[in-house]
Amino acid sequence: MRIFVLTDLYPPHYCGGYELRCREQVEELTKRDHEVFVLTSTWGLGESKVEGKVYRLLHVNPTLGPFSKKDPLHLLKRYAQLKLAFASRRDYRIARDILAALRPDVAYIWNMGNVPVSSVLAVQDQGIPTVFNLGGPWLAELKTELCLEPNPLKRRYRAAIVGLEDFGRIDLRHILVNSRALMQSYLELDFPEQNITVIPRGIPSHLIMDANDLSSLPSADKDGVKLIFTGRLVPEKGPDVAIEAVAHMVRELGISDIRLDIIGTGPDENVRQLHDMVIDLGLDKRVTFLGRLEHQELLVRYTEYDVLLFTSRWMEPFSVTLLEAMARGLPVIATNVGCVPEIISAGENGLLVPPDEPRAIADAVRTLLQDPALAQKIRYAGLNTVRERYAHERIVDQSEEYLQMVLQQAHPGFDV
């Protein structure tokens, strides 16, 4: 197959795991003798660039929020929206011209939340069979803005900006989502259930630790524990909850020899608030902010800790962070939100706690410290979960079969 991948961001310029999963699928599909092309944005470059079969040409949506305080008349915001309207038309032409040159068999649409949706329309206007691989709410948010806004003037204005007057123009017959939780959120917005298939994310098999190597990892110790939080430093990810849990362990549970490393970045204001919180709680000797680490370095570091704290408070569509930690033999304590209960079976391959309850997290950490056998059981079960259900190659098998099915439906007798 000649596969045309459309995504807003693509490594090495990326924000999180979503883009890494996209590249992993591109690389695996290429290994299977499919010809794969990627059209993405100029984000991280600031200028257009073609790198082999990766076309970094699309416009990046401006961030409009910060203008409100500096711009009471919203002139800057309106200017940015005008630029977006022109960029939307430009991206349509770019996608149309590339499609005419490449003549792909099928289009594989990933996240488009940070670029105009017009390039998707260009794909479908060419009659190319299209599969959406949704790892988040971007398409639901687009429908909400264009269809559910009660003010008709705002609806028409937003439609003019994005170049999509009728949301029904998007062909949504073939949608992949990465969890049942995400599927449910789309069903609540009246996306047809028969058009949606659940295929989770996966991680490469070579990252999954051999069970024989678990004995060399840190063991839970009642006199000390090393915790890790990794993720965007934004409220929905709950880094503040992880910090409060450490405070509770120190002050109320008497666990004095403890360290929490926080890995990740976020808006400056959020990061400042977290630093201030650490100081106010007297945890500056126990909590360390390590910033953003390269993905490979983070994978290596997982083996140095006793527990991963996954403290998200929002509807997680899917979390590869959980899989990667489990694949490296690291026990996980996670909030039971979104997709998490689909991955974690409480007491089997991890521990589950309610969101926004740092005391529950602290108690769960104490449970693992006091029961090394349980901690070790969770390590082994975590490895087995990832190996049996989330090995990347198996996930790509499912995605590849789905793409082939869509192509054969569109062109009966096509030799894939």
What are the tens digits of pLDDT across the range 195-232? 999 999 998 888 999 888 887 776 554 457 899 999 99
Give the model's pLDDT for residue 73: 54
Q: Quickly state the pLDDT bin for 166 (edges 50, 70, 90).
A: confident
Taking residues 99-127, what's their average pLDDT?
A: 94
Q: Which residue has better confidence, 157 or 10? A: 10
Give the model's pLDDT for residue 223: 52
CA distance 29 to 398: 11
Taking residues 377-394, what's their average pLDDT?
A: 94
Give the model's pLDDT for residue 266: 92
Give the model's pLDDT for residue 61: 77
Give the model's pLDDT for residue 416: 64
Q: Quickly state the pLDDT bin for 18 (edges 50, 70, 90).
A: confident
**C-alpha angle 309/315/316, rounded to 5°?**
55
CB count within 10 Å of CB 394 equals 16
Q: Quickly state the pLDDT bin for 254 (edges 50, 70, 90).
A: confident
Asked if omega into 12 is within 30° of 0 (cis), the reply is: yes
pTM over 0.85: yes
280 burial class (0-12, 13-18, 19+ CB within 10 angstroms)? exposed
Q: Quickly state the pLDDT bin for 130 (edges 50, 70, 90).
A: very high
Give the model's pLDDT for residue 70: 58
Across all residues in the chain, what is the average pLDDT? 90
Statement: residue 65 has pLDDT above 50: no
Give the model's pLDDT for residue 147: 86
The token pair at 126 is: 């060419």
Dihedral sign (CA 149, 153, 158, 159): positive
Task: Quickly tell me which residue has 């060399």 as its tokens.
Answer: 216
Q: Between the CA atoms of 396, 399, 402 and 403, what dihedral angle is there, to the nearest 10 degrees? A: -100
Lowest mean pLDDT among 53-57, 84-88, 143-147, 290-294: 84-88
CA distance 99 to 126: 8
Give the DSSP H or E segment for 159: helix 152-162
- Nearest CA-CA partner of 51 in 77, 26, 82: 26
Taking residues 88-114, what's their average pLDDT?
A: 94
Statement: residue 69 has pLDDT above 60: no
The token pair at 267 is: 């808006």
State the pairing for strand pair 287-291/175-177: unpaired
What are the tens digits of pLDDT across the range 27-41? 999 999 999 999 999
Going across the sheet that includes 196-198, the strands are: 49-51, 54-58, 35-41, 2-6, 106-109, 130-134, 175-177, 196-198
Percent of the chain exceeding pLDDT 70 equals: 94
Q: Quickly state the pLDDT bin for 68 (edges 50, 70, 90).
A: very low
Residues 6+ apart with CB under 8 A from 284: 278
The token pair at 140 is: 């639901």
Give the DSSP H or E segment for 58: strand 54-58
Lowest mean pLDDT among 13-27, 247-261, 282-296: 13-27
Contact status, residue 124 vs residue 167, Cβ threshold 8 Å: no
Dihedral sign (CA 82, 86, 92, 95): negative
Q: Between the CA atoms of 391, 397, 402 and 405, what dihedral angle is there, to the nearest 10 degrees? A: -170
Query: Domains (ranges, CATH) in the chain?
Result: 2-202+392-410 (3.40.50.2000), 206-389 (3.40.50.2000)
Give the model's pLDDT for residue 8: 94
Lowest mean pLDDT among 43-52, 213-222, 333-342, 395-404: 213-222
70 burial class (0-12, 13-18, 19+ CB within 10 angstroms)? exposed
Give the model's pLDDT for residue 17: 77
Q: Quickly state the pLDDT bin for 64 (edges 50, 70, 90).
A: very low
Taking residues 259-264, what's their average pLDDT?
A: 96
Contact status, residue 30 vs residue 62, Cβ threshold 8 Å: no
Q: Quickly state the pLDDT bin for 301 (edges 50, 70, 90).
A: very high
Lowest mean pLDDT among 11-20, 168-177, 230-239, 366-375: 11-20
CA distance 242 to 356: 9
